[in-house]
Amino acid sequence: MKIIMQLVPLWIRQYPRELFTTDLIAGMVVTVLVIPQSLAYALLAGLPPQVGLYVSIFPVIVYALLGSSMTQAVGPVAITAIMTFSVLSPLTSPGSPQYIVLAASLALFSGALILVFGLLRLGFLSQLLSRPVISGFISGSALLIVISQIKFLLGVQISGSNIWQLMYSLYGNISRTNPTTLLIGGLALLILFSSRKWLSNALGRIGISAQRAAILVRLMPLIVLAIATLVVVTFNLDRKQGVAVVGVVQEGLASFTFFLPNLYSLKLLTVPALLLAFIGMVQNITMAQALAIKRRERIDVNSELVGLGASNIVAAFYGGMPVGGGLSRSAINVAAGAQSPLASIVSGVTMLCIVVAGTHWFSRLPLAVLAASIVIAAIGMIDIKAFRQAWSYDRADAWALLGTGIGVLILGLEGGIALGIGLSLSTLLYRASTPHIAVIGRIAGTEHFRNIERHGVETIPGVLFLRIDENLFFGNLSAVEARLGVELEKAPDTHAVVLVMSAINRVDTTAMEVLVDINRELDSRNIRLHLAEIKGPVQDRLIHSPLWKSLSGEVHLSVNSAFEALVQIGSEANSNASVTNSSRAI
């Protein structure tokens, strides 16, 4: 019995009964609000609409039982939907039996990868993609989503698996725009955009609480969809005016379908599944951490991966569409008052009841309104603020963000993120290869040493204190040698060089050998090389190296002890030697 109880999630064992009513109501509210979103994201992924409902049942419950976040909500999300479509649409026709099998295989493969990462406690892998790259990827994907939905807003048929094909197809078919569809979609866009931007403040001014206002704002897509559907049905716009609607939605529950992808599918989906797994990991963990911080809670990163991976595996067998931690879905969950994962379990059970009760009344939902809700959600994913902040703080990160976004549009999802990672790594390599090197001196009356170009400091005539603020490796040695040469040319009377190693965490083999060469070259010029503030792990390696045995100078515990020792040596060698104030101070 004790073993069984340990398998039960901690939040269930410690669940406060007073929260039950709140979670019950929140779960039912979330289900109603995400119905349009679930249908829309399934269509966005190129799958039958009912798939979005199916993966909002058991995968949601599985994550609630295995994940660690109290309020994160899992389900069909925009980013996984567009990634599914972008990966699979070039391979086969969207909606076809083969397409559906590949989508399920993608969910299974990516879910298995995420689950393995969680079980092996590899949650730290989610940090391998930098924030700018992720932001650029999501922003570029959001633009792709917007472009992919234009055909539904205009009521035209366009095709293509990349931005160029889509735009070319749109250009050739724009004259066939359906005016009624454009009117419905345009009004839906206007209402949804206005409600998201101004409705909350307007409701607050008339005395409605912020929590209720948030729920009403989230309710707007459902209200707009209901009104538009009523108009379509009343005036028979789908049959008389050619307004596109969802169409036949399969009735009843789906059955669990267990399968194993064939070798051909595995070869096709290996890279896309890995990419989907990484993006899903980052998005899920980032959202869960943000929610936990607001609630002053903690999450277990590896438990999050186990929950997300298991929910995707279940989604593969029941529904066949990858799922993820959704920003808007989680926001709806929080706004509805969810306090624990019980709200997600209630949501899954409620969706189960809705599917059992029948889905025939979804068949005449206008696609233009579903597209409008997707476009509004996608616009909210475009992070202009992140770009502005990166541009003002670090231009290299800003270029990585921009390059990733543009790469996604031009090269596709895989090419875009590869370009972003390449830009980030190039920036990292460039910075490591061009380290900051400072000539330092002592601030008078202290034991602190600072850059002579930034502070008024004391220096010793004929002694060069050089601080390298980077690990020494084969890629940056030429920069170190060049800077040392420049400084020695400036001061031809130099008789001692102190290499300050306080910022050096590693010296590779090539760097050690170059230091040996530098020591030999300086010694031939009657210049002694000293080392100061070597970190323990670095010294442990250097002790057994040729540099340690041949070093012409001394190894000093601190920069100040080196300073004092060289002042003393200078005084003994030349009674006129003295400490002078640097004239380069600013």
Task: Tell me what the pLDDT averaged over the chain comes to.
Answer: 89
Position 585 confidence tier, pLDDT thresholds 50, 70, 90: very low
Predicted TM-score (pTM) of the model is 0.79
43: pLDDT strictly greater than 80: yes
The 10s digit of each residue's pLDDT in 221-261 is 889 999 999 999 999 999 999 999 998 888 888 889 888 88
The answer to whether the CB of 153 falls within 8 A of the CB of 368 is yes
What is the structure's pLDDT at 573?
Answer: 58
Mean pLDDT, range 555-560, rounded to an integer:
95
Q: How many CB atoms lie within 10 A of CB 425?
A: 12
Position 411 confidence tier, pLDDT thresholds 50, 70, 90: confident
What is the structure's pLDDT at 4?
Answer: 57
Q: Which range scores top for mean pLDDT: 8-12, 244-248, 567-571?
A: 244-248
The answer to whether the CB of 88 falls within 8 A of the CB of 94 is yes
Distances (CA, A) of 287 to 67, 76, 277, 281: 13, 15, 15, 10
505: pLDDT strictly greater than 90: yes
Identify which has the larger pLDDT, 200 or 470: 470
**DSSP H or E run through 127:** none
**Residue indicated by tokens 């809700």:** 373
Out of 293-302, 449-458, 523-532, pick the least confident: 293-302
What is the structure's pLDDT at 586?
Answer: 31
**DSSP H or E run through 70:** none
Give the type of residue at 435: P
Going from N- to C-terminal start, the domains of the chain cover 39-383, 437-581
User: Which spans in 45-173 are helix H?
Assistant: 50-54, 58-66, 78-88, 97-119, 131-154, 163-173
d(CA 445, CA 60): 65
Both tokens of 313, joined, read 């595996």
Q: Which residues have C-beta within 8 Å of that of residue 327, sequence separation ≥ 6? A: 77, 283, 287, 380, 381
Position 111 confidence tier, pLDDT thresholds 50, 70, 90: very high
CATH topology of domain 437-581: Transcription Regulator spoIIAA (3.30.750)
d(CA 408, CA 279): 14
Identify which has the larger pLDDT, 481 or 410: 481
Backbone angles phi, psi at 530, to 5 degrees: -110, 155
Mean pLDDT, range 558-567, rounded to an integer:
94
Give the type of residue at 104: A
d(CA 265, CA 267): 5
Q: How many CA atoms lie within 13 A of 449 on its CB side?
A: 23
The 10s digit of each residue's pLDDT in 139-170 is 988 898 898 899 999 999 887 666 777 788 88
